[in-house]
Every structure is written in C-alpha cells, then in structure tokens.
Chain A
Amino acid sequence: MTKRSWTTNHDAKNSKLENVASMMDGKFVKTENAKELLEDLIAPGDKVVLEGDNQKQASFLSKVLASVDPGKVHDLHMIMSSVSRPEHLDIFETGIASKLDFSFAGPQSTRISQMIADGTMNVGDIHTYLELYARLYVDLIPNVVLVAADKVDRDGNLYTGANTEETPVIVESAAFKDGIVIVQANEIVDEVPRVDIPGDWVDVVVQADQPYQLEPLFTRDPQNITELQILMGMMAIRGIYEKHNVQSVNHGVGFNTAAIELLLPTYGEQLGLKGKIVPNWEVNPTPTLIPAIESGWVKTIHSFGGEVGMENYIAHRPDIFFVGKDGTMRSNRAFGQMAGQYALDMFVGSTLQIDKYGNSSTVTNGRLSGLGGAPNMGSNPTGRRHSTPAWQSLRPDNDPLGKGQKLVVQMVETFGSNKKPVFVDHLDAEEVRKEAKLANVPIMIYSEDTTHIVTEEGIAYLYKTDSMAERQIAIEAVAGVTPVGLRSNPKQLADLRARGIVALPEDIGVHRSEAKRSLLAAQTMDDIVDWSDGLYNPPAKFRSWS
C-alpha cells in the first residue's frame, strides 16, 4: 500500500508555478505574457474567482481571461460577487466558463437573464455577498483568484487603499488553501503606502495595461432629488429615526436615502434631533453625507468600498472614516457586511416591487439583477444578542422571552417613474424563478424582516401587526392607488391610524407644503463641494457646470 500523500494540492500548485517560471521575474510577469500565463495556470474545470466588486473591477484580468484559448482553458466554474462587465459573460459564450455562482448582476441583468434561459450558462446559485464569501471557505474554495490592486512593491505587498473592498476575503481563501493568487496592479512601486495584503499571500503580479475600472456608483446628484422623495425623507426622520431613537444605520444608496442625508442638517436640526440620532454609519462614502458630517451629525462611518472623488475629503476627516497610517481610507466589504448585519439598529432601502405580503425584490421581468448586500443588511439577524434602544423598541410586549428586532425600512413611491405600480399582487421575481430555473424566488427582503414601509402616502409600522391579514391591510393603506392599495378602505385606515399601525404625514406633524427642494442642505453637486471645503472632487459626469 502506497502511503497517502497529504500535500497533493500543494504539490500541484508548485508544479504549475514551476511551469511558468520562465515567464516570471520573481513574482512579476510582463503584461504581454498575461494570456499565456493564465492558459498555463488555469486548468479546465477550475474554480476561479474573478474580482468583480461593486465599484472596482479586475478589468485587465477579465479581458485577458476572455482572450485565452478555449481549447486550453474551458468549463471554468466562475465565482463572482458582481457580474458587471461584458466579458464576464462573454466567457460563457466562448466555452471558457460554464458555471457561475454570483451575488449581483445589476449592469448585466438583462443579458444574464437571457443566457440562463438559453442554457448558455449553468447557475450554481445566487447569493448575498456574505454567503458567497462564506462559501469560499467551505464548498467553493477557489483554485485560482484574479484580483486587482492599486500598487504593488517588489515583494508583492499590495496596496488596495480606499477600494480594498473584497480583495482580502478573496485572497485569503486561496492563499491558505493552495489556490493561486494572481494580481493585476495599476502601478509597481518601490514602497507601498501601506500593506493591505501581505506579499507572502501573493503568487503572481502583472502590471495592467490601464488602471482597473472604478465607477462612482454611490454618488447621487442632489439636483435630481424630487419633492416626493423629500416628503418621504421628512416622514422617515420624524416617524422612524426620531421615534425609535436610531443610533446606527445603513442606507441603501438611492435618491430617497440621499434626501434623508441632506435633510438631517436642515429638517433634522429644526426638530432638535442633532446629537440625538444616527451618529454611527455603515455605508459607502456617499458625497451626500458631507453636509451631515460637516454639521456634526455623523460621528463614524465604516465603508464597504470607496467612492471616486471622495478620497481627499476622507483623508482629511480621519476622525470620521477608517483611515490608515498612510492617511488614506481602507474599506472592506466583508467586514462591512458583517457590521451591517449584526451591529446596526436600522437598514433603510428601496426596491422596485413589493408584493401584497410585504416581500420585495429588484428582480423584474427579464432582469435578473441578483441580490448583493441588501438581504444581509435588510434582515433581522436572529443570532443577535446585544441590545440597543432602537432594537429593543420593536420588542413585542406579550412575550416574556421576546427580544428586540432590527429595523428594516423600505422606502418606495407607490408608482415608479415609468408609472408602473410598485405594489403588486405577485412579484415578477416569481416568474423569473421559473424562467431561470432557480431553486428560490430571488427575494431581496422578506416580509417577516420588513418592519416599516414608507411611501408618499404614509408609514406602515408592520412590526406592530399581529397577523399576516393585518400586515396586508397595513400595506394596502400606504399603497396609494396601486391595485394593492385600492383594496384599502377609509374605515380600515382610520382604525390603523388610531392604533398607530399606520401614520399619515399629518399624524406625525409633517407638512406636505414644506417638502421643497430648498429644504435640502445641498441642492447641487457644487453645494456639496462647498460643504466639503473644496475637498470633494466630483467625477466629470457629476460636475455642476458654471
């Protein structure tokens, strides 16, 4: 009996790296050799993580991967948190890859939907971010990871800076389990500003032909905030932030939440709430937070990723943000998701559809946008044990073993700008599940986790309902003239208002006539630049022209 080897993975990795030794100078490979390198290091059927984050894309390596010979590299099992670039899907058409496990596919949602229906790709599953990272350490351990860094030194130490995002969680899953870590770098330097990933974890570095793709995904131009969004923001501040004494929050980034951020220094100030609510944030560094930061509302912000144009502002506000010794920000999506799930009083988000029960989804007909991070933040973690006043305020009175609950708030207008109803009897996602042959309906936030719904009509305090029937009536009461809302009647509404399950603006002292854009602390990108003392530098597409 031959003795079993316990180092087969280790040996395989070493042998592969030896095969490419002729191309290597230390850990470095020339840009023009990248294709050959991938063809040698990636075997058919390998599990490959291609770093596609929310903001940052390993765009050089994704282009190179799409160019390899499908005769040599094929049937890869891709693991990607964000499917963002065309070549992320091209590789399935050419046969380089065949299976996909992913989280989010916003920019490619229409095409991915079609490819699944056509059988061009085989989807393992759709995950939340945390789930996908978790599986990298259990049953989706990668053979090869392709990631992006800003700077690398001669020893392979990586600086990923403000846009660190997912790089650490991906690299760690490979580095300690005999996976191969391949890095594209914007720049090779003698000394990195700080070490975000130790060089010891890195196997191969390629200088990219151009810097990785980075999008300002979380910048919202206040010019586009409407009076309806302002009205809903006022209601939320009054009827939720103040009422529940919320201290820590995540804002799903949209115009509704941008409105709230810009109302804190004005409307919030008028209500005397400064210093009393939301000092602690887990959120991407959105420019619309600047007025609230500058006027002393915000004490701390930890971020999933960076935001283009915010680098210099953040560097000058280390009291607020997570900033390294070198003076630049560090983000980390895995830790951010963890914090967002377990440490927050409240999640406030928006969605495209809510059904009559209160389940919501951003998946609509023909668009499989995936899940991303909102389901983590927008769920009540049953493993939570620590208490805060806001969490405790949702505790049911009648249960001796009862505990608090995270506030999960959905803010929607009853009709979208396309004049389609947001409140529907059945989510499009149900149909998409059938078409895409998914095991579960891709629901972003389940009814059971949703504690509040805010519409322009009013607030439904769903956590106060004691049956699904009552929950449905409460939803109907704020669903306007959508088919769902039309079922509501004045008697029911009066009863819900009397019992505090539904509040109309007048019930919480919000005047609709005050919902004006002049109430926003900043009305243009220029105003935000002014608030930042010139430290915020908006990307060209967001500049206020003058």
Chain B
Amino acid sequence: MEKLHFSFDTKEPIQKPVHVGVVASGDLEVIFRPTTDTKSDINIVTGSDGFKEVWQNVLDRFFARYPIQANIEINDFGSTPGVVNLRLTQAMEALKDEK
C-alpha cells in the first residue's frame, strides 16, 4: 500500500460532490468534493506500490482536459490506468447528471 498526494491549479468550480466506484480487485473508488480554492488536492491510497509517475500522468491529462476545482480522494485496489480514467470520467458524467 502506498499513499500519494498531488495538487493542480484549477479554475472550473463543480456544484456538488460525487462518488463513483468500488474498492474491488482491479478497481477503485473516486470522490470529488467541491472547493473554492484554485488549487485541487488529490489524495490517493493505492494497493499497488511504485506507480507514482503513472498516476501523475493520468492526473495531468485529466486536469488538462477538465480543470475542475475539486479535492479528490481515491482508494485504489490495483486498477490499470484505463480503469482509473474510466472512473474519473464517469465522475465527470455524474457531475453533469441532473439528479
């Protein structure tokens, strides 16, 4: 298990918190919480050690596409970058959901 922290400069507020995913084998959960800060904090607990650079790359790309003002918590049980990105983008879809 490894704990990772990242932060990004952001500019697009989100209106509500969202939660997506389950901490199952090869899967993860993602929580977005709105913040008024223009710096988003990302805290990750992952079961696979040694992938900090890959996480950095996934998040770089995500925030380049969606610069949301959100503090993000991730609990990850060995997901591939593809699954991580799927959950992050599903959370974006959930933000747009009128519910």
Contacts and interface: CB of A to CB of B under 8 A. Distances in A.
A509 to B, nearest CB: 13
A137 interface: no
B57 A486 contact: yes
A227 B26 CA distance: 11
B54 A419 contact: yes
Instruction: Summarize A's interface: helix, strand, loop or mixed.
Output: loop
Given A228-B83, A417-B80, A513 B93 contact: yes
Nearest to A490: B64
A335 interface: no
Interface string B43-84: 000001001001001100100110000000000000011110
Contacts, number: 53
Interface residues of A, number: 21
A416 B93 contact: no
Contacts of A511: 93
A512 B58 contact: no
A228 B89 CA distance: 12
Given A228-B82, A481-B58, A490-B64, A419 B48 contact: yes
B90 A415 contact: no
Contacts of B80: 228, 413, 415-417, 419
A419 B86 CA distance: 15
Interface string A478-515: 00110000100010000000000000000000011101
A511 B96 CA distance: 12
Contacts of B81: 414-415, 419, 480-481
B35 interface: no
Interface string A398-427: 000000000000000111110100000000
Interface string A304-326: 00000000000000000000000
A226 B65 CA distance: 25
Given A481-B58, A481-B61, A512-B89, A456 B94 contact: no
Contacts of B65: 490
A345 interface: no
A417 B26 contact: yes
B57 A456 contact: no
A334 interface: no
Contacts of B82: 228, 413-415, 455-457, 480
Contacts of A419: 48, 51, 54, 80-81
A147 interface: no
Contacts of A416: 80
A227 B57 CA distance: 22
B33 to A, nearest CB: 20
B85 interface: yes
Contacts of B86: 227-228, 231, 456, 512, 515
A515 B93 CA distance: 12
Interface string A250-285: 000000000000000000000000000000000000
B90 to A, nearest CB: 5
A486 B64 CA distance: 12
Interface of B: 26, 48, 51, 54, 57-58, 61, 64-65, 80-83, 85-86, 89-90, 93-94, 97
Interface of A: 226-228, 231, 413-417, 419, 455-457, 480-481, 486, 490, 511-513, 515
16 contacts: A226-B26, A227-B83, A227-B86, A414-B82, A419-B48, A419-B54, A456-B85, A457-B82, A480-B85, A481-B57, A481-B58, A481-B61, A481-B81, A490-B65, A512-B86, A513-B90
